[in-house]
Amino acid sequence: MKHNLFKKGKKGLFIFFDWMLYLVCYTLIFLLVSSLFHSFYIDLSHPYIYGVLAVIIIVILNKTIKPLLVTLTIPITGLTLGLFYPCINLFILKLTDWILGSHFNLEDIWIAFFIAILISVMNALMDFFFVKPIIRKVHTYE
């Protein structure tokens, strides 16, 4: 019985690590882009709080709405050879902009598209270098 609890604990730890990794990387991307471009705005009264809050909303939307969007846009993504995929991230960003209102503002669609591309590249790199090796390691110990 202890062995099953240990397995569940490792999966919970992996989920927590996954969330924290995305939280840190997305927040760094938002703070970097907001400092470089004036058309992307995070509330300056508490930029880290609103950056982290935006990331939490984005991660929740990525885990809930994004799989449905990816499934619905498979034909478009296939026709564009994967170039439509950042548009899904763009939609998630604009939805986060709408949810947070004036605390998180994407005024320029090109900056939002740039952020979406950065997020897509960062997701691919994190999956390749961090998430998949950890999943393989967890499966080898099961």
Burial 128-142 (b: 16+ CB within 10 A, else e): eeebeebeeeeeeee
Residue with tokens 């990794």: 21
Helix (H) or strand (E) holding 50: helix 47-64
Instruction: Determine the residue type at 28.
Output: L
Mean per-residue pLDDT of the chain: 81
Render pLDDT for 50-75 as a digit per residue (tens, 0 to 9): 888 988 998 899 889 999 999 999 99
Domain enclosing residue 19, as ranges? 2-141
- Tokens representing 135 are 């999943």
The number of distinct structural domains making up the chain is 1
Instruction: Tell me the residue type at 142.
Output: E
pLDDT digits (tens, 9 = 90+) for 19-46: 788 888 888 888 888 888 888 878 778 8
Please report the pLDDT score of residue 99 as a whole number.
93
What's the DSSP call for residue 56? Answer: H
